[in-house]
Amino acid sequence: SADKIRLGYTLLYAVLDEALDYGYPQILQFNLLKDIVLEKGLPKDPKGIMALREKQRTLTLDVTGNVAWRRQGIFYKKNELFLDTVEKVSALLTPAGDMLAGEVSGRIVMKSQLSGMPECKLG
C-alpha cells in the first residue's frame, strides 16, 4: 500500500539504487541485495563494525566475480574479443553539390570468445 511505501521509502530507495544503474539492471539476485542493503543501519559495537567490513570485502568479490548469466564450462582455444565499429554517413546535397543536411551515426558490435571469467585489461 502507499503507506507501507512511504514508511519504507529509504529501504526501497536503497534496494533500487543497488539493483539498477542508470536504469539498467545490475544486481537482481535477492541474496546479494539482502547482504548489500542494510535494513537496520550500522552496528554500534566495534566487533560488529569489523564483522561488517569483512562481509563487505567478500560481497565485493561476489558482485564483481559471480555472474549468474554466464554458463559454466565455456572454453575457447584463444581468449579473444572482437570490436567492430559500423559507421553510416548520410548527406543531402543540392544539384550544385552544396550540403543541405548531413548525419553520421554508428554502432559498436562486440563478439566475445572468452573462456571462463578472465580479467580484461584495456589500453
Report the amino acid identity of residue 89.
Answer: V
**Alpha-carbon distance 29 to 32, whole Å?**
6
Residue 32: count of CB within 10 angstroms of its CB: 17
Which residues are CB-neighbours of 114 under 8 A, at least 6 positions away?
74, 76, 79, 80, 81, 120
pLDDT in tens, 23-54: 776 776 766 666 666 666 666 677 777 776 66
Residues 107, 86 contacting (CB under 8 angstroms) = yes
Range 3-28 average pLDDT: 73
pLDDT for 98: 94
- Position 66 pLDDT exceeds 60: no
Residues 70, 117 contacting (CB under 8 angstroms) = yes
pLDDT in tens, 77-105: 888 889 999 999 999 999 999 999 999 99
**Alpha-carbon distance 44 to 66, whole Å?**
31
Q: What is the DSSP letter of 28?
A: -
